[in-house]
């Protein structure tokens, strides 16, 4: 995909941030740059269930960045089940995100 691009989701915080971060990684950017797309500035609450997206970028940064290209890491090493088992959402943040803000 050639930029500029418009990425949109219902609230504009989590899925759009994930896609923007993936775009950065696929095009040679860093996990830190990708993670900046998931920000409270955009309505992302990293301590709720959607924080698993932050954990995904952090896992790549800690285990493979600089050693293996992102897409190769996803194909060869990334384990979604392991990431889900390791991630724990905060109860208060999830209440705010899910019940008060009614976000997915």
- pLDDT tens for the chain, 104 residues: list them: 777 878 777 665 588 889 999 999 999 999 999 999 998 887 777 777 788 899 999 999 999 999 999 999 999 999 999 999 998 876 765 566 565 566 65
User: Is residue 32 in some structural domain?
Assistant: yes
- DSSP string across 32-80: HHHHTTS-GGGT--TTSGGGHHHHHHHHHHHHTTTTS-HHHHHHHT--H
Range of the domain at 30: 15-100
Residue keyed to tokens 């088992």: 85
Pull the structure tokens for residue 43: 């309505």
User: Is residue 82 in some structural domain?
Assistant: yes
User: Is residue 1 in some structural domain?
Assistant: no
* pLDDT, position 77: 97
User: Is residue 9 in some structural domain?
Assistant: no
User: Is residue 3 in some structural domain?
Assistant: no
Is the Cβ–Cβ distance between 34 and 24 less than 8 Å? yes
* pLDDT, position 10: 67
CA 39 to chain centre: 10
**Count of domains observed in the chain:** 1
């Amino acid at each position: 995909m050639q930029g500029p691009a418009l990425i949109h989701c219902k609230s504009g915080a989590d899925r759009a941030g994930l896609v923007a971060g993936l775009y950065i990684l696929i095009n040679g950017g860093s996990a830190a740059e990708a993670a900046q797309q998931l920000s409270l500035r955009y309505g992302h609450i990293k301590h709720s269930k959607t924080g698993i997206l932050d954990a995904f970028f952090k896992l790549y940064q800690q285990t493979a960045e600089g050693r293996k290209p992102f897409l190769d890491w996803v194909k060869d090493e990334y384990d979604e089940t392991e990431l889900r088992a390791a991630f724990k959402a905060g109860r208060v943040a999830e209440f705010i995100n899910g019940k008060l803000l009614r976000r997915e």
